[in-house]
Amino acid sequence: LVSCTKRTKTPKSELAVCRYVLLLAELEAHQDAWPFLRPVKLKSVPGYKKIIKKPMDFFTIKEKLINNMYLNQENFVIDVNLVFDNCQKFNEDDSEIGRAGHRMKRFFDKRWTELLH
Ligand SMILES: Cc1ncccc1N[C@@H](C)c1ccc2c(c1)OCCCO2
């Protein structure tokens, strides 16, 4: 993972990267994270490729984080929210995956706010 001590950035964005790394680790460890840990296999989920224009998952977010592809915090939050928006679009609210998505979104929103203060 990104070494939080690497002095390649201004201290402010360095702290931000540590915040994302921490938060992402919490998301991945959450008991309801199972549908979101890896990219959806488009061949094993009929309709997903057609309906979801921009697939996203926690592993892909981690890779982007490690490759320093989040130049500002907005892009990190945009990708995390993409995971949950895709989930709401494809899954019924009253379904296993739909409910997991709502719980994960609530958890993320809470932790994101806490980490900002
Ligand atoms: C987030 C999401 N949204 C819509 C569909 C799937 C997913 N997640 C993927 C990883 C998944 C979860 C459960 C699955 C599945 C695949 O394989 C097909 C068989 C049933 O079990």
Number of H helices, E strands in the chain: 5, 0
Q: Whose CA is nearest to atom 3 of ligand 1?
A: 87
User: Whose C-alpha lies nearest to ligand 1, atom 16?
Assistant: 40
The pLDDT of residue 109 is: 97
pLDDT under 50 in the chain at which residues? 1
What is the pLDDT, as a whole number, of residue 11? Answer: 63
Which residues line ligand 1 at a C-beta cut-off of 6 Å?
35-36, 40, 44-45, 48, 87, 90-91, 97
DSSP secondary-structure letter at 41? Answer: -
How close is the Cα of 8 to the center of ligand 1, in Å? 38
Contacts of 40 (CB under 8 A, 6+ apart): 48, 52, 55, 57
Q: What's the pLDDT at 1?
A: 46
Q: What is the pLDDT of residue 17?
A: 82
pLDDT value of position 7: 55
Indicate the burial class of 7 (C-beta count within 10 angstroms; 0-12, 13-18, 19 or more).
Answer: exposed
- 69-100 per-position pLDDT tens digit: 887 767 999 999 999 999 999 999 999 999 99
If you measure from the C-alpha of residue 102 to the centroid of ligand 1, how many angstroms do you get, rounded to a whole number? Answer: 15
Contact 95, 35 (CB under 8 A): no
Instruction: Report CA(107)–ligand 1 centroid distance (Å).
Output: 20
Measured in Å, residue 91 CA sits from the centre of ligand 1 at 10
Between CA 73 and CA 117 the distance in angstroms is 15
